[in-house]
């Protein structure tokens, strides 16, 4: 086996006691297997990644990794002061061939700090695959990519790993990745709860302690008192009550015609040239606008230009109202409450249990919801959100979309390729 994890437990300190992240998790991955690990936010995926990569030592249990492992994280995989070519030279492979293979010729001599986050992620993926480790651990490698770019990356990664006998553990909440797997497992509440093969039914896993997760498509009222009835070869559970659906929120279209953000023939500098050029758009008060486009199209740059941290090469940017951009996590040593989130938004985003824990101890999805809670708690009239759902599972993406749709007291502009957000927006500005 390339990976052997047996009965691993891990706890995080928090106000009022320790919080379990992994609760006796066991996982085996065979040599050369492409294993996709899925699970909701807070299920223990991030902790498993840190333990497999050696960043954390489990409190108990056994972890074995056979062979050299490389890790491809969601971000911060490159040395930003280097050019693309210089970064590839660190892999000690044929740099020219790698540049041609991944179509990076136009940016080969560009500093990595001057390319988009999505392009940096593709560059990091190219480098780590070229190194051909025995085991590759990829943690949400496509979170910042458009759907088509993500699918292409999954295909390239899995094809390369199969051709070179690399064991791939792909940790993601993206269901699209399942189609490229040899095997899919799901983590829930710090344990492996289900496993299945692509396009085949899920199999629930009952561990030796008798723990069984209820079907995901059904949401039940919890906690509950239930009765177990043995009926021949079946074990029946009685006493569960299904949750009442909250229903769909129809967004009230703003009747305001007052423009709070005006972009007139805006061109923005990006790396080796003007990558964002000729942008024209008017955003009216109390509207919800999505900015979408592939990696390198300038989505984040446009938000920075609106808030004033990026100067346009030409054109005009006019903002009428207080404006705030939320793109980076603030002070991971702080709790979400200490960072300025109100109790109302902490509750709405399901963060009450984690409100006093340092954000550095939370999962990626919990940190992203914490950032959103801080944003929504601000008094800015215009909120700019950069990829607010990239680290979220489907349930939490739906929650965030609902909250944005219901937030009619201010203007919200998101940079995102998330279909839930783009199809719900009043207006979509497509960049190319």
Give me the domains of the chain, ranges plus CATH numbers.
3-196 (3.40.50.300), 259-430 (3.40.50.300)
Specify whether the CB–CB gap between 411 and 286 falls below 8 A. yes
265-284 pLDDT, tens digit each:
988 876 545 456 688 999 99
Q: Does the pLDDT value for residue 248 go beyond 70?
A: no
Q: Does the pLDDT value for residue 5 go beyond 80?
A: yes
375-393 pLDDT, tens digit each:
999 999 999 999 999 888 8
Q: Which of 129-138, 174-183, 242-251 has the lowest mean pLDDT?
A: 242-251
Q: At 246, is the pLDDT very low, low, confident or very high (cuts 50, 70, 90)?
A: low
Better-scored residue on pLDDT, 207 or 190: 190
Contacts of 422 (CB under 8 A, 6+ apart): 290, 292, 416, 428
Q: Does the pLDDT value for residue 11 go beyond 70?
A: yes
Average pLDDT over residues 52-56: 92
Enumerate the H helices of 17-61 as residue ranges: 45-53
Q: Which pLDDT value is given to residue 157?
A: 96
Q: What is the DSSP string of 68-100?
A: -EEEE-SS--S-TTSBHHHHHHTTTS-HHHHHH
Q: Which pLDDT value is given to residue 290?
A: 95
Better-scored residue on pLDDT, 250 or 266: 266
Average pLDDT over residues 93-111: 91
Percent of the chain with pLDDT over 90: 52
Task: Tell me the three state secondary structure of residue 147.
Answer: helix
Q: Which pLDDT value is given to residue 237?
A: 85
Q: Does the pLDDT value for residue 214 go beyond 80?
A: no
Element (H, E) at 420: helix 419-424
Q: What is the DSSP string of 260-311?
A: EEEEEEEEEEETTEEEEEEEEEEEETT-EEEEE-STTS-HHHHHHHHHTSS-
Q: At 252, is the pLDDT very low, low, confident or very high (cuts 50, 70, 90)?
A: low
Enumerate the H helices of 131-252 as residue ranges: 147-164
Tokens matching residue 53: 């990569």
Q: Which of 136-150, 262-276, 405-419 has the lowest mean pLDDT?
A: 262-276
Better-scored residue on pLDDT, 276 or 409: 409
Q: Which pLDDT value is given to residue 135?
A: 97
Q: Which pLDDT value is given to residue 274?
A: 45
∠ at Cα 200 (177, 193), nearest 5°?
75
Q: Which pLDDT value is given to residue 242?
A: 81
299-309 pLDDT, tens digit each:
888 999 999 98
Q: At 218, is the pLDDT very low, low, confident or very high (cuts 50, 70, 90)?
A: low
Q: Does the pLDDT value for residue 219 go beyond 80?
A: no
Q: Does the pLDDT value for residue 249 go beyond 60?
A: no
State the residue for tokens 């396009």: 199
Q: Does the pLDDT value for residue 204 go beyond 70?
A: yes
Q: Which pLDDT value is given to residue 380?
A: 93
Better-scored residue on pLDDT, 262 or 116: 262
Q: Does the pLDDT value for residue 92 go beyond 90?
A: no
90-98 contacts, C-beta under 8 A, 24 or more apart: 90/127, 91/127, 91/130, 91/131, 93/130, 93/131, 98/126, 98/127, 98/130
Q: Which pLDDT value is given to residue 217?
A: 62
pTM as predicted: 0.80
Tokens matching residue 6: 């047996």
Average pLDDT over residues 63-92: 89
Q: Does the pLDDT value for residue 74 go beyond 90?
A: no
Q: Which pLDDT value is given to residue 61?
A: 94
Q: Which of 66-75, 220-229, 280-289, 391-400 has the lowest mean pLDDT?
A: 220-229
Average pLDDT over residues 158-168: 96
Element (H, E) at 63: strand 60-65
């Amino acid at each position: 086996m390339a990976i052997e994890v047996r009965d691993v437990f891990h706890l995080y300190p928090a106000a009022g006691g320790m919080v379990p992240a992994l609760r006796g998790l066991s996982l085996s991955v065979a040599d050369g297997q492409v294993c996709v690990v899925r699970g909701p936010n807070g299920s223990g995926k991030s902790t498993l990644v840190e333990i497999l990569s050696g960043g954390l030592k489990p409190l108990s249990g056994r972890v074995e990794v056979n062979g050299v492992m490389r890790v491809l994280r969601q971000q911060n995989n490159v040395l930003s002061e280097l050019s693309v070519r210089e970064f590839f030279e660190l892999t000690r492979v044929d740099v020219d061939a790698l540049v041609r293979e991944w179509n990076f010729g136009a940016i080969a001599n560009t500093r990595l700090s001057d390319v988009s986050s999505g392009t940096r992620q593709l560059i990091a993926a190219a480098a780590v695959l070229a190194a051909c480790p025995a085991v590759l651990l990829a943690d949400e490698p496509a979170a910042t990519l458009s759907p088509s770019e993500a699918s292409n990356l999954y295909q390239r990664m899995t094809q390369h790993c199969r051709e070179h006998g690399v064991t791939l553990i792909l940790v993601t909440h993206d269901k699209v990745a399942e189609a490229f797997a040899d095997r899919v497992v799901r983590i829930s509440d710090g344990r492996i709860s289900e496993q299945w093969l692509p396009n085949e039914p899920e199999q629930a896993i009952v561990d030796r302690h008798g723990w069984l997760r209820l079907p995901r498509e059904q949401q039940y009222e919890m906690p509950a008192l239930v009765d177990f009835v043995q009926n021949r070869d079946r074990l029946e559970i009685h006493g569960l009550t299904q949750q009442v659906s909250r229903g769909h929120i129809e967004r009230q279209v703003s009747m305001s015609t007052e423009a709070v953000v005006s972009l007139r023939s805006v061109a923005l500098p990006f790396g080796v040239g003007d990558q964002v050029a000729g942008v024209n758009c008017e955003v009216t008060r109390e509207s919800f606008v999505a900015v979408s486009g592939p990696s390198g199209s300038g989505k984040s740059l446009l938000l920075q230009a609106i808030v004033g941290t990026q100067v346009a090469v030409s054109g005009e940017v006019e903002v009428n109202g207080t404006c705030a951009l939320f793109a980076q996590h603030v002070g991971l040593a702080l709790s979400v409450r200490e960072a300025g989130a109100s109790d109302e938004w902490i509750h709405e985003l399901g963060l009450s249990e984690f409100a006093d824990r340092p954000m550095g101890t939370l999962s990626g999805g919990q940190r992203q919801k914490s950032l959103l809670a801080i944003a929504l708690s601000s008094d800015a009239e215009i909120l700019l959100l950069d990829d607010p759902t990239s680290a979220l599972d489907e349930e939490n993406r739906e929650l965030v979309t609902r909250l944005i749709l219901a937030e009619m007291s201010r203007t919200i502009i998101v940079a995102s390729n998330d279909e839930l957000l783009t199809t719900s927006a009043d207006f979509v500005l497509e960049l190319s």
